[in-house]
Amino acid sequence: MAFLQITWFYIIVFLLAGYAILDGYDLGIGILTPYLAKNDDERRVLFNAIGPVWDGNEVWLITAGASLFAAFPAVYATVFSGFYLPLMVVLFGLIFRAVSLEFWSYDPSHRNMWTRAFVIGSFLPASLYGLALGNVIQGIPLDESTDFMGTFFTLLRPFPVMVGLVGLFAIILQGSTFTAHKTSGDVQGRARKSAVAAWWGVAICFTASVILGLAVLDGVASRWPAWVFVALVFVALVLVRVYLKKGEDFNLFLSSSLILVNLWGLVAAVQFPVLVKASNDQFLGMTVFNSSSGRLTLQVMTVIAMIGMPAVIAYSIYVHRVFRGKIELSGGSKPV
């Protein structure tokens, strides 16, 4: 039973890391669209870069949410009820983002409106994901029924806000590096400049979050795996600057992705075995051992995961391989 519980903890972390890498560049491109693209042709390039893959990327988030619901239903209930307002904002942001991508092509007379909807729909999830995660790490006030006892303003503490900024800048960096890899010319040049700015944002905010974490998280300094991932994040940051200087855009994107992988590794190292910490009483905290589903549920889910996860991974690899290469508007054609 303990093996199954631990396994599903790491499966969910893996799914969230995969989502951060894949949908991270979608969200990053959305946030940066007003800066990266100055006309409809350049916007078409950006939308063509993510158009064939963005909906498949979001499958990772759906799978992670479904896995949390099935493997740790009590945690799902506590988190989704406690973070109801920000999660509803995230949901509406994702909906507007999806709609705007489609209607930008089909409703030419309102392209400016759909572009703004795409930008806002990308910014809201990117800024709120990290805020929610930071609160889970620091802990939230729970009653004896593990219901959230605070308000929205309870979530706006310094450490969670800083974690939110780390996530936001990491997503912007991911979008910048992917754009640099997939485009050329002026758009690529702007993407490389935005990557430098986002790099500074990640480096400064991550350093600040580590310092704040040492101040507010009990016992975190003694968790040596966490320090390994902290070091790996800084190594990945150095690689980003190296490949930026060399102009090796694919390796630049891989290095940015490595930052996200190590950030999620750090989260797992800091959290395990806790899933949701109770800031008011440590005994009310929810762990992988006291909040999971039963043995049969976890066994059935493991069989499904052994079939489904390789299929999702294979599809992601396949679709990115099919649509690899630079995005160009052939023959100088205008967007339709």
- Predicted pLDDT at 259: 97
64 contacts 15 by C-beta, under 8 angstroms: yes
Mean pLDDT of 313-332: 82
HEC string of 56-105? HHHHHHHHHHHHHHHHCHHHHHHHHHHCHHHHHHHHHHHHHHHHHHHHHH
128 contacts 90 by C-beta, under 8 angstroms: yes
> 283 or 17: whose pLDDT is higher?
17
For 294-314, b/e burial (b = at least 16 CB within 10 A) is: eeeebeebeeebeeebeebee
- Predicted pLDDT at 330: 58
Confidence of residue 1 (pLDDT cuts 50, 70, 90): confident
pTM over 0.85: yes
- Predicted pLDDT at 106: 86
Residues 6 or more apart whose Cβ sits within 8 Å of residue 140: 82, 148, 150, 154, 155, 276, 277, 278, 279
41 contacts 335 by C-beta, under 8 angstroms: yes
**What confidence tens digit (pLDDT) does each residue in 5-43 have?**
999 999 999 999 999 999 999 999 999 999 999 998 899
Q: What are phi and psi of 43, to 5 degrees?
A: -65, -40
262 contacts 202 by C-beta, under 8 angstroms: no
Confidence of residue 283 (pLDDT cuts 50, 70, 90): confident
Q: Which residue has the tokens 């392209």?
A: 111
Confidence of residue 168 (pLDDT cuts 50, 70, 90): very high
- Predicted pLDDT at 335: 38
**What confidence tens digit (pLDDT) does each residue in 35-70 have?**
999 998 899 999 999 988 888 888 899 899 999 999
- Residue 318, helix vs strand vs coil: helix
- Predicted pLDDT at 331: 45
CA 315 to each of CA 29, 59, 68, 305, 312: distance values in angstroms, whole numbers, following the listed order: 22, 11, 22, 15, 5
- Predicted pLDDT at 336: 35
- Closest C-alpha to 299, from 7, 66, 77: 7
- Predicted pLDDT at 85: 85
Instruction: Please give the helix or strand (H or E) that residue 274 lies within, else none.
Output: strand 274-276
Mean pLDDT of 159-171: 96
Give strand pairing partners of 278.
140
Going by the DSSP 8-state scheme, the letter that residue 286 receives in this structure is E
Is residue 333 scored above 80 in pLDDT?
Answer: no
126 contacts 102 by C-beta, under 8 angstroms: no
Instruction: Please give the helix or strand (H or E) that residue 18 lies within, else none.
Output: helix 2-36
**What confidence tens digit (pLDDT) does each residue in 227-270 have?**
999 999 999 999 999 999 999 999 999 999 999 999 999 999 99
Is residue 207 scored above 90 in pLDDT?
Answer: yes
The percentage of the chain sitting over the pLDDT mark of 70, rounded to a whole number, equals 98
Indicate the domain borders of the chain: 9-327
Give strand pairing partners of 274.
287
Average pLDDT, the chain: 90
- Predicted pLDDT at 334: 38
